[in-house]
Structure 1
């Protein structure tokens, strides 16, 4: 026989609604901050390409493609000091795991909270190309940290871009 004192308490409707609001707030913050990082990556790529057509080339690229292309462009750019190149490449490499996490948070469905132990984490179903669904624990504190890390990356990217690439990142672009 199970001990009711050790069983997780079922959440009330108001508590479930609050958990859902927190969920949507977290997903929205992660999505917004990652979109801002992508915009910063596009500006960086535009600056590294230093062409009036760079905006066309950078448009529509995924965050992963922008990161990889910016890494290659930084490596090839002879006007960037070795120290600045290393800082920039480390910054870009630090974004890879953030975007992997972001994809799991934004693109995987989260299960509804019903029990008291669902207040700190939940389960989502992560699906990768040609792979079966994989249940994954989503910890709310980790998602909050992801949102903060993405937000912090925005400033770091802008600082590096305008500190190292400068005017090339502000070059007028062809309107298409």
Structure 2
């Protein structure tokens, strides 16, 4: 039998509703922030391609492909400075784990408990290719940090795009 000091309180139905709504809100925030970053990455790829067909080439690519293609294009671009190249590569590489975390948040179902701990965390069933789903702890504070990190990347991506446009003579 559990010690009463370590027992977790059961949540009321109203508290469970608040938890469900917080979960949905966090998933929505992650989806929105990541969609904004994807749009910026698409714009960066178009700038790096410096082609009238850039929109067509970048259209429909997901974040992972956009990141990889932008990395390759930044490496190959002889017009940008080494400072822009280094900063761009560092930023793009830093986005990879954010999008991996984003995928786990957005594509895995969340299961909050009916106990007090669901006020700060939930369990999600993360399923990767050809592996059984595995329970993964979702900490709300970490998800809020993910949203902040994605949002903080936006002006940095725009800044790299501006530098690329200037280097290409497209102000």
TM-score (norm 1): 0.92
Question: What is the SS of the residue equivalent to 1:10?
Answer: coil
| More displaced stretch, 88-97 vs 3-12 | 3-12
- How many residue pairs match? The answer is 171
The residue aligned with 1:174 is none
**Once the 2 structures are TM-superposed, how far is the Cα of residue 64 of structure 1 from its aligned partner?**
0.4
Query: Which of structure 1's runs of 4+ aligned residues deviate more than 2 A?
Result: 1-6, 163-171
RMSD across aligned C-alpha pairs, in angstroms? 1.8
Tell me, what secondary structure is at the counterpart of 2:91? helix
Unaligned residue ranges in structure 1 (runs of 5+) = 172-176
Query: 2:39 aligns to what SS in structure 1?
Result: helix
CA contact (8 A) 1:16 1:114 kept: yes
2:132 corresponds in structure 1 to: 132
Q: CA deviation at 1:2?
A: 3.5
Are 2:80 and 2:163, in contact at CA under 8 Å, matched by a contact in 1? no
Which structure 2 residue ranges, 5 or more long, are not aligned? Answer: none
**2:80 matched residue in structure 1:** 80
CA contact (8 A) 1:46 1:54 kept: yes
Higher relative contact order (CA 8 A, sep 6+): 1
Q: Distance in 1 between matches of 2:42 and 2:23?
A: 29
Distance 1:169 1:63, change over 3 A: farther
For residues 78 and 104 of structure 1, the distance between their equivalents in structure 2, rounded to whole angstroms, comes to 36
What residue is the counterpart of 2:41 in the other structure?
A: 41
Q: Secondary structure at the match of 1:11?
A: coil
CA contact (8 A) 1:47 1:166 kept: no
Q: TM-score, normalised by structure 2?
A: 0.94
Take 2:82 and 2:23, find their aligned partners in 1: how far apart are those partners? Answer: 42
